[in-house]
Structure 1
Amino acid sequence: MADVMGNYKLLALDLDGTLLNDRSEISETNLEWVRRAAEAGVTVCVSTGRGFPSALPIVEQLGLNTPMITVNGGEIWTKPHEIHRRTLLDWEKVAKLREIALRHDVWYWAYSTGGIHNKEQWVDDVPSLDWLKFGYYTEDVPVLQEILREIGEGEGLEISNSSPYNIEINPMGVSKATALMEVCSMLGYEMSEVASMGDSLNDIAAIRASGLGVAMGNAQEEVKLAANVVTGSNTENGVAEAIRQYVLRT
């Protein structure tokens, strides 16, 4: 168990299910405490499975001009609009992942640098796009498990989720954890100086690699087991609670 009262210089925040409530809003309490952390000199880094366009309004609401991690680490930003590194998913893999989705007749989506594409709005000219991440969604758990089994047989894929009913796929080696290590390298921080908060499987590696790993009260059980501490849920200002208790220690 890490020393949960360490000196944290970087706060990595997942968005959906963590900083955001179930209406995808930041509560006033969470907003206040994130700003307090930033004002105290802590670098606040949004670390999300979202693409840059949907993460940016939240970063702007927080008033941040700090590094960002989007599409589960597929993109690392020095600051908003300034890309540091982008890791692409081969279009052949995207085509195979889509074929599995079509065969099982489930909802699917994918991020490219040109935007988000899904079952209802796909593009025919797949090879011409720079792809970042692919995902599936179904509440039929046995089908989800079968898809997981099928894609697990492939190579070169990093598999996680952002809810119990989805699967998210990045290129092998791409995760919020490896992206956070790169951000620390950029800023001259150690991973022991990072506090990471999240709720889903795409947060586990970062939670384990950080000096302080915080699972939300609403987190998947596996995430709670990987964390140093469990805070309140995303509807109970859990982020604010963890900042107050462990990061700023007020």
Structure 2
Amino acid sequence: MADQVGKYKLLALDLDGTLLNDRSEISETNAEWVRKAAEAGITVCVSTGRGFVSALPFAEQLGLQTPMITVNGGEIWTKPHAIHRRTLLAADKVMKLHAIAERHDAWFWAYTTEEIYNKERWVDDTPARHWLKFGYYTEDLAMLGSIREQVEKIEGLELSNSSPFNIEINPEGVSKATALMEVCRMRGFDMSEVVAVGDSLNDIAAIREAGLGIAMGNAQDEVKAAADVVTGHHQDDGVAQAIRQYVLC
């Protein structure tokens, strides 16, 4: 697919398990090749399940003034600090999701437009907050399966994950793929001109919809199966390999 020089105009990069190593760092090699892509005129878009505050330092490290996708597409930014669109998760659904977490005594977290809350620090005024995403984490896969069964009974939700041990929930229709479509609309690109790189289920829709979908070597098997190609492990500069072999070839 990547045999035409200049075919791709937008490079969407997941952070954890993709651009970042196990220490949550961008390696010098990955940073070098991201800069090369940007210098070649490719729009590099951070596309992450993280909230804006925790994603921003990586965009700044790379010197990016380009669109960002945060909380799995719940927020789309024209550039850092310039919000284009937010899609909120209804407070009544957050209350139901919280009740499920409490019943299972599972670790959970949730993003509002302002802060992150979790099992150790929750709120008394859930309806008053502007929610974006809810998540569960447990290495007890039987518990995770039970939680998923109950969550799936609640209408209007989009389920994904950012590791085999979590479930991430956004409003129905919100994903990195739909966010990328909006970024393309903003920038005048076609999805066939997009390269999407990731490792988890919150990347799979974008990988399927992009002109070139790239799974990391450490990606979940389902993500690898959906991808056009598989690059190196996130510990081995897999993003740099992908840019060199498929984007700037």
Same fold? TM cut 0.5? yes
| Corresponding residue for residue 104 of structure 1 | 104
Q: Is the 8 A contact 1:65 1:79 kept in 2?
A: yes
Shift of 1:127: 1.1
**How many angstroms apart in 2 are the aligned matches of 1:178 and 1:52?**
18
Establish whether residue 234 from structure 1 lines up as the match of residue 244 from structure 2: no
TM-score by length of 2: 0.98
**How many angstroms apart in 1 are the aligned matches of 2:121 and 2:143?**
23
Gaps spanning 5+ residues in structure 2: where? none
What SS is found at the alignment partner of 2:155?
Answer: coil
**How many angstroms apart in 2 are the aligned matches of 1:224 and 1:187?**
28
Shift of 1:114: 1.3
Superposed, which structure 2 residues align to 1:74-113 within 5 Å? 74-113=74-113
RMSD: 0.5
**How many angstroms apart in 2 are the aligned matches of 1:184 and 1:136?**
31
| Corresponding residue for residue 176 of structure 2 | 176
What SS is found at the alignment partner of 1:4?
Answer: coil
CA deviation vs aligned residue, 1:26-72 (integer Å, no higher than 9, x gap): 00000000000000000000000000000000100010000000000
Query: Which amino acid in 1 is paired with 2:214?
Result: V
TM-score by length of 1: 0.98
**How many angstroms apart in 2 are the aligned matches of 1:5 and 1:222?**
26
Identical counterparts, % of pairs: 73
Query: Which amino acid in 1 is paired with 2:186?
Result: M
| Corresponding residue for residue 134 of structure 1 | 134
| Corresponding residue for residue 2 of structure 2 | 4
Superposed, which structure 2 residues align to 1:1-250 within 5 Å? 3-6=1-4, 7-249=7-249
CA deviation vs aligned residue, 1:180-228 (integer Å, no higher than 9, x gap): 0000000000000000000000000000000000000000000000000
Dislocated runs of 4+, deviation >4 Å: none
Count, aligned residues: 247
**How many angstroms apart in 1 are the aligned matches of 2:99 and 2:3?**
48
Gaps spanning 5+ residues in structure 1: where? none
**How many angstroms apart in 1 are the aligned matches of 2:2 and 2:216?**
15
Query: Which amino acid in 1 is paired with 2:97?
Result: L
What SS is found at the alignment partner of 1:213?
Answer: strand
What SS is found at the alignment partner of 1:111?
Answer: strand
